[in-house]
Structure 1
Amino acid sequence: MSKLGLWVVAAIAVFTLLYLVYLAATFEAPTGTTTVVVPAIAVQPVAEPASPTFPQTRLQPREEPPAVAATPVIIEAPVEVEIAAPVVEELATELIELPSL
């Protein structure tokens, strides 16, 4: 950014700040308005309902699941399959000179 651009941005910032100070200094509160005071509502204790709306359920401890049988599972090893080498085709490479600008 050029020096002139920085000076313009700084001038706009200073002008805006001075304008806001002017507005704050000349501000007058509006007259002839009324202030309404709303009384606070008295706090009333909330009574607990006599009977709960949901049925009361007791949590029962869970039974431990039965132990797993200790017989090991023997899995046969997979058969190895020989992978054929992929066929590689060599493409003819031609050098093309690109135009320069």
Structure 2
Amino acid sequence: MEQAKDPPCVDPDCVPETLCLGKFNVMFNQMGLATLTFTHPRAKTGPLLDQGQIEDEGVVRARIVTSSENMVAMRDLLNSLLKDTPAAPATTSAGGGKLN
């Protein structure tokens, strides 16, 4: 039996990259799906424009829902890509991962 091939990848909507340098989270549900939520620090609009004060908040910029199998594949990919890369020191503006 011939194994199914993945279809070619296209980007007809030209989906833009989204900058997410804040906290992130992974949540698994009972159906075996994983939701990745990514945030980015941004100054609150009101205090910035009204008083010239910077009050940062983490704004959700992306939520991606995928299968547990894809999460395992992503783990394996990241492990292979980053195996020889020393971990950067954690900062408050870098990805502060949290697993539920």
The TM-score, its normalising length taken from structure 2, stands at 0.19
The TM-score, its normalising length taken from structure 1, stands at 0.19
Find the structure with the greater CA-based Rg: 1
**Relative CO higher for 1 or 2, CA cutoff 8 Å, sep ≥ 6?**
2
Bigger strand share: 2
